[in-house]
Structure formats: structure tokens, C-alpha cells
Amino acid sequence: MAKQYWLMKSEPETYSYDDLEATGRTEWEGVRNYQARNFMQSMKIGDGVLFYHSNCKVPGVVAIAKVVKRAYPDFHAFDRKSPYYDAKSDPDNPRWFMVDVAPGRRLRRVVSLAELREYADGPLSELVLLRRGNRLSVIPVSAEEYRFIVALEKKKP
DNA sequence: GCCAACGTTGGC
DNA sequence: GCCAACGTTGGC
């Protein structure tokens, strides 16, 4: 199976790309949306990830990361004390899954959402992120879209 | 199975 | 802080 690509959102105040670099690896826990979960379940080791900062001053893609562990049960859902606790998920029949992600490299500059929108009628016309009202935190990206977005780092902002 | 109410996401 | 869009919940 060919390498796949994804965009994963994180609020930098909660967990930024700097945090990922500091720890070298993270569990992508707390995803509580079925569609996003399904995407994570189809991820494979080595898949490319666009690390996106949401809910911040300049939302956009800040770095490249990679999947380093395939989907496994999000055990935070079993922990009553966790903010991600979900009584409907139990260890015998887990409802939520997560993958592990490791850093790749920071882009030369933030490729902002506003800039991505400039290509909404062109190369990024199919980008799920740009669909109206999209709120998914894990989004598939085609190889072409991935390459195009990464290449934008070389453009003058 | 419908749908109103509610909570959350996330850009602005 | 506002609010539009969306998913989930629960009454009926």
C-alpha cells in the first residue's frame, strides 16, 4: 500500500509542534469523532502528516510529522479521571482509537489557512480542510495536495 | 425515525 | 468574544 497523507489539527495552546519536538513522540489521544477515528484506523506506519495549528492567531500548517504506530485503543477513554473519559468505551469493546505521531520537520514558515484558501479553486479544490463548515480534526490529504502544500513554504508569504 | 436542544469546534 | 456549522442526545 502506498504511503498515505493526512492533516492533523492541534490547538497549540494545548499541544503544539514544539511540544511534539520536545517529547519526540506523542499519543494522538482524545479524538472523539467517528470519521476522524476511522481515518486514524486506516493510517499506517510512515504515513505523512501535516501538523496543523488550529484555534490560534494564525491557523495553518506548521510542520511535517509522521505516523509511528498504527491505531490502538485510546485507553484514556477508560480512565474516569481523564478529560477524555467515555463511559461507552470499555476495554473489551473500545470505541475510540489513537495513533502515535513523531515529529518530522518544521516548515520554513507557517502555511496559513488563508493562504490555502487562495488555491481553493485550483490545486486544493478537493482539500477536505477547505470544505465548508469542516470541523474534522483528522483529515485525509492526497499525495498531490501534500506536495503542493509543503512546496508553499518556499513561496514568499 | 424525527427533530429540537445542546455542546463543541474553530475561524474571525 | 461572537457565532455559524456541525455532531450528538434524548424525548416523543
CA A148/CA A63 separation, integer angstroms: 14
At residue A78, the pLDDT reads: 87
CA A75/CA A39 separation, integer angstroms: 18
At residue A134, the pLDDT reads: 85
Residue–nucleotide distance: A134 CA to C6 C1' (Å): 8
> Quick one: DSSP state of residue A93?
B
Classify the phi-psi angles of A24: left when phi > 0, otherwise alpha if psi is within -120 to 50, otherwise beta.
left
At residue A114, the pLDDT reads: 95
Protein-covered nucleotides of chain B (CB closer than 7 Å) are 8-12
The answer to whether A135 touches A89, Cβ cutoff 8 Å, is no
Q: Cell numbers for A27, please give them.
A: 499519543
Strand C close to A134 by CB, under 7 A: yes
Q: Burial level of A73, CB count in 10 A (0-12/13-18/19+)?
A: middle
Residue–nucleotide distance: A135 CA to C7 C1' (Å): 10
CA A152/CA A61 separation, integer angstroms: 10
Residue–nucleotide distance: A153 CA to C1 C1' (Å): 32
Q: Cell numbers for A64, please give them.
A: 511535517
At residue A1, the pLDDT reads: 74
* Amino acid of residue A153: E
Interstrand relation of A97-112 and A48-53 (parallel, antiparallel or unpaired): unpaired
Residue pLDDT, tens place only, A115-155: 999 999 999 999 999 988 888 999 999 999 999 999 999 98
Residue pLDDT, tens place only, A85-122: 887 888 888 999 999 999 999 999 999 999 999 999 99
pLDDT band at A156 (very low <50, low <70, confident <90, very high): confident
Percent of chain A at pLDDT exceeding 90: 81
pLDDT band at A157 (very low <50, low <70, confident <90, very high): low
Q: Tell me, yes or no, if the pTM score tops 0.85.
A: yes
Nearest 5°: the CA angle A39, A58, A37 is 10
